[in-house]
C-alpha cells in the first residue's frame, strides 16, 4: 500500500545521520592529512541511508575549486550487518531443518548470496569502478550523465564524485514547474535502462527515485552504483 511504501522510502535517504565532526575524522583517517587539507568546505549531511551518508564538499583540484559529493560508510556498519547476517544464517538453517518446504526454498543459499552482495556494497571502490564502467558505456549518449569519480580521494569506506545539481525524478511538481517534458524523461529513462540490460549486460540495479536526478539540461543523472 501507499502508506507502507512512503514509510519505506525513508530508508533511501532520510535516516538519522551521524555528526559531521565524526565524518571529518573518518575522512582524515581514510585519505591522510595532505589530501584532507585539499577539502576546503564540508557541509552537514544532505542524505543518510542505511549504510552510508552523503555530504557536499568543496575541494582544491588542479588549482581549481570543485564541488563534489562525499559518500561515507556509517561507523561500525560492517560489524552490525555481519552480526545480522549471522542471525539470518542461523534462522535459515533452523527452519530448513524442521520443515522440508523450507529446505526446498534453499534459504541458506539465499543468505549466502545476500552476504556476498552486501560485502560488495560496503566496498566503495567497487561502486566507483561501477560508476566508471557505466560512464564508459554511455559516454556518447547525451541523455545520460554519470558523475566523475575522484579516485585519489576514494577508498574502501569513502567515495568522492562530482556534485550534480538536479531534481529527483519523482518530484513531478518541480519538474513541471521548471517546464521539463515528463514524457521525454520517461522515454529516455526507459531507453537508458533497456540499453544497459540488452546492449551492455551491465545495469544500475537500484534505480529507485532516490537515486535518479534530472539536471538543468534535462539529462538523467544516476547516483549510488
123 annotated active-site:
no
Set 19, 84, 99, 206: catalytic member = 206
Chain mean position to CA 120: 12
What the block records as the C-alpha cell of 72 is 561515507
Strand order of the sheet with strand 220-222? 167-168, 212-214, 220-222
Distances (CA, A) of 73 to 64, 66, 154: 27, 22, 12
Listed in sequence order, the residues at least 6 apart from 35 whose beta carbon sits closer than 8 Å to its beta carbon are 152, 153
Q: Tell me the C-alpha distance between 26 and 144, whole Å.
A: 32
Q: Tell me the C-alpha distance between 69 and 28, whole Å.
A: 16
Which positions are annotated as active-site residues? 206
Amino acid at each position: 500500500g501507499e502508506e507502507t511504501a512512503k514509510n519505506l522510502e525513508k530508508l533511501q535517504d532520510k535516516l538519522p545521520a551521524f555528526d559531521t565532526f565524526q565524518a571529518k575524522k573518518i575522512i582524515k583517517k581514510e585519505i591522510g592529512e595532505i589530501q584532507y587539507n585539499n577539502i576546503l568546505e564540508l557541509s552537514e549531511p544532505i542524505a543518510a541511508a542505511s549504510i552510508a551518508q552523503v555530504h557536499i564538499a568543496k575541494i582544491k583540484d588542479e588549482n581549481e575549486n570543485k564541488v563534489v559529493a562525499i559518500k561515507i560508510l556509517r561507523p561500525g556498519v560492517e560489524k552490525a550487518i555481519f552480526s545480522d547476517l549471522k542471525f539470518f544464517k542461523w534462522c535459515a538453517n533452523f527452519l530448513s531443518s524442521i520443515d522440508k518446504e523450507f529446505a526446498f526454498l534453499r534459504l541458506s543459499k539465499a543468505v549466502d548470496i545476500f552476504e556476498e552482495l552486501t560485502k560488495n556494497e560496503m566496498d566503495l571502490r567497487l561502486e566507483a569502478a561501477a560508476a566508471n564502467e557505466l560512464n564508459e558505456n554511455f559516454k556518447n549518449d547525451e541523455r545520460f550523465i554519470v558523475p566523475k569519480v575522484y579516485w585519489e580521494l576514494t577508498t574502501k569506506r569513502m567515495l568522492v564524485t562530482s556534485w550534480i545539481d538536479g531534481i529527483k525524478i519523482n518530484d513531478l511538481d518541480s519538474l513541471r514547474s521548471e517546464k521539463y517534458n515528463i514524457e521525454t524523461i520517461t522515454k529516455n529513462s526507459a531507453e537508458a535502462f533497456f540499453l544497459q540490460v540488452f546492449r551492455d549486460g551491465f545495469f544500475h540495479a537500484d534505480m529507485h527515485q532516490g537515486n535518479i536526478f534530472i539536471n538543468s539540461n534535462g539529462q538523467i543523472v544516476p547516483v549510488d552504483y
